Structure 1
Amino acid sequence: MIYLAITIDTECDKGPQWLTQKPFKFDAVVRAIPEILQPLFERHNLKPTYLLSPEVILDHCSSDILGNLEGKVELGTHLHAEYVEPCPNWDTPATLDFQSQYSPEIERQKLENLTHLFRQTFGYSPRSFRAGRFGISQFTLSILNKLGYRIDSSVTPYLDWRSLSTQSVNFLGAPDQPYFPDLYDYRKEGTMQILEVPVTVLNYFWCRFPKAMLRRLNPLNRYQSFFMGKVIKASSYRSWFRPTYNDGDGMMSLADFLIQRKANDAPVVLNMMFHNVEFWPGTSPYAATEAKVKEYVSRIEQVVTYLLSKHEIRSVGLSELYEVYFSSRLKKYR
């Protein structure tokens, strides 16, 4: 079976440089979702997962609109840590923090407060999560597991974000299909109870190498960095299942590659990721005009129509994937 997850980091309006609009605005929630995104999904009978940043949950109009979509969507959480206690920074011009930059105790408190805010607003506990800027720490998955989450979707395979943070946010060597992670290394398969559902991004060069080898690479080493960046130009082989980073043909080719590669009975998950602000003019660097928004919508239409015509596809919310992989895990150890 092929599973299609559409996962949307849902935030307040930004601008051309990812700067937060002040005072806070939510056009990309209260207008983009009901006017553009939901009609698109409902035309194709798709179930998206909206992962909500704290400021969106706190905005009554936004939370009302999202809450009224119950049954058609899944709602989860998305941590931009500047916007939740302890030590919030509501005046920050942009949400640049990685939660891995915080101490384990501060990170735990922020995740607890975000989860409590969601539960208080919507009346049930969230089951799916993605870190802002993909910036998980070595403690994140354990904290999420204790808070009752079933799914994390912060891993971007074949990518390393360490140059953007004072802490390591390194996904080199992580699987590109869902897995139960190792307690001590979120890039390895292990025995944790939370399921990692990576964003669908592939590097056609790196995917040919053993994952254990990739986990040994150190992009901060200047010689390795030079070799990866200047000699083999590894980033040029990268392909995202994301409409603002790839056109329809590129996403279709990526989907075909992953589907053709799978073992006979193994499921395949295509996890399309983007932000709500990428689908409203002027609220992100990607969509300055209405024409650009229409282009991104057209890319999604193209790839979804292609997949539905060629394969048996099941559209799912993120947390629905837990039972699929938990059942497979039980069979494996019987």
Structure 2
Amino acid sequence: MLDTPAAGSRAMFREGFGQRAILTVDTEEEFDWEKPFSADGHGLDHIPRLAKFQQFCEGLGVVPLYLVDWPIAESPMAVEILREPIAAGRAEIGIQLHPWVNPPHDEEVNAHNSFAGNLPATLEEDKLLRLRDAIAKNFGASPQVYRAGRYGLGPNTGAILKRAGVAIDTSVRANFDYSPGGGADYSRHPLHPYWVDEDRQLLELPLTTVYWGMLRRQGGLLNPVLGNLPKLPGLFAKLGLLERIPLTPEGVSIDEAIRGIDMAIDDQLPLLVLSFHSPSLVPGNTPYVRSEEDLDDLYDWWRRIYGYLELRGVKPTSIREIMQSVVTG
């Protein structure tokens, strides 16, 4: 995985950047999250809904970053919907690698290999390059951002991204530990953007997950313990002691997200990285959106969250603006 950053690697932004927020979309195929991984059997029925979501974002003044995996990159309908907004700068595109559906299919499909960083370096790189090239060809834009599916960075990923000409990674889900399932441990990674390498060629934009509550400064120590006792996290949150809040509409209420935003602002994070999965745009595809009412709630979540961000002076941003504003010297 990408090592825990050294002191002094924190990325700085030009004067006037202030505090910003970027919306990332894990733009991927539909599959049953409860079943074993499979190279086939997935769906793409939600793709037409991307048009409505794009219009919704434009109405908010938000430039969404679509992190596209192989089935989406090869979908003519996805290309038809997204190519023009991307060309016009109203949307942006990046890479999301789901190795189990991404050629070449040289590995055994299983939970361990669903984390791309667990694959042999040559295979991880081959899959990433094929996806990068398919995106560039079909969407007419060279992707500059990467997110490993399942946040699955590995020991070779940073060097692979640099060779591929990818300038930004956004795979680190700070304050989460996926090592029990064979993935990476991000529990000690910071929330602020940082440089992965000494020569500042690869910038990390961690997804924003904060701790809230009276014990939030001890969250990194307490959360692993609470995770082993299923009833305690809910009790600690109810008592206002400790709550882990990722900035996503999937499983996080508006009130919770607002508390998380307040913590991120208080901690002076320059960038809030928000996210969700594109299959949630159709009820029944994810555990978070099961009905049309749930879908209405998802749109209302974004509407109210961006209203609150505006109230707190946090402006929407884009990858283009981030790359222009980050200090590299």
Q: Deviations over 1:76-122 (max 9, x none)?
A: 11000122222268x97999711122111111111111111112212
1:194 equivalent among 187, 196, 202:
202
Tell me the distance in 1 between the aligned counterparts of 2:110 and 2:160. Answer: 28
Match of residue 13 from structure 2? none
Tell me the distance in 2 between the aligned counterparts of 1:102 and 1:21. Answer: 16
Tell me the distance in 2 between the aligned counterparts of 1:24 and 1:74. Answer: 25
Tell me the distance in 2 between the aligned counterparts of 1:128 and 1:322. Answer: 11
Tell me the distance in 2 between the aligned counterparts of 1:199 and 1:249. Answer: 19
- State the shift of 1:144 in Å: 0.8
Tell me the distance in 2 between the aligned counterparts of 1:18 and 1:316. Answer: 36
Q: Deviations over 1:280-329 (max 9, x none)?
A: 11222221111111111111111111111331x3322235323322x2x4
Aligned pairs for 1:295-310 within 5 A? 295-310=297-312
Contact 1:80 1:132 in 2 (8 A): yes
Match of residue 59 from structure 1? 75
Aligned pairs for 1:292-331 within 5 A? 292-311=294-313, 313-325=314-326, 327=327, 329-330=328-329
Tell me the distance in 1 between the aligned counterparts of 2:78 and 2:35. Answer: 20
Match of residue 288 from structure 2? 286
* One-letter code aligned to 2:194: Y
CA 1:68–1:227 in 2, change beyond 3 Å: closer, same or farther?
closer
CA 1:135–1:22 in 2, change beyond 3 Å: closer, same or farther?
closer
Tell me the distance in 2 between the aligned counterparts of 1:17 and 1:276. Answer: 17
Matched, 1:86 2:92: no
CA 1:324–1:25 in 2, change beyond 3 Å: closer, same or farther?
same
Q: Deviations over 1:107-166 (max 9, x none)?
A: 11111111111122123321011110001102112211111111111001111101112x
- State the shift of 1:45 in Å: 0.9
CA 1:228–1:92 in 2, change beyond 3 Å: closer, same or farther?
closer
2:257 equivalent among 242, 251, 267:
251
Could you say what secondary structure the match of 1:282 adopts? coil
Matched, 1:27 2:21: no
Match of residue 271 from structure 1? 273
Matched, 1:45 2:32: no
Could you say what secondary structure the match of 2:80 adopts? helix
Match of residue 3 from structure 1? 20
Contact 1:52 1:75 in 2 (8 A): yes
Which blocks of at least 5 consecutive residues in structure 2 are unaligned?
A: 1-17
TM-score w.r.t. the length of structure 1 is 0.80
Aligned pairs for 1:125-140 within 5 A? 125-140=142-157
- Number of residue pairs matched? 301
TM-score w.r.t. the length of structure 2 is 0.81
Match of residue 185 from structure 1? none
Contact 2:115 2:152 in 1 (8 A): yes
Tell me the distance in 1 between the aligned counterparts of 2:112 and 2:155. Answer: 21
Q: Deviations over 1:168-201 (max 9, x none)?
A: 511121110111125xxxxxxx554111001111
CA 1:244–1:227 in 2, change beyond 3 Å: closer, same or farther?
closer
Tell me the distance in 1 between the aligned counterparts of 2:248 and 2:106. Answer: 30
Match of residue 127 from structure 2? 110
Contact 2:73 2:131 in 1 (8 A): no
Percent of aligned pairs with the same amino acid: 23
Tell me the distance in 2 between the aligned counterparts of 1:77 and 1:203. Answer: 28
Which blocks of at least 5 consecutive residues in structure 1 are unaligned?
A: 183-189
Tell me the distance in 2 between the aligned counterparts of 1:137 and 1:93. Answer: 16
Contact 1:18 1:284 in 2 (8 A): no
CA 1:272–1:208 in 2, change beyond 3 Å: closer, same or farther?
same
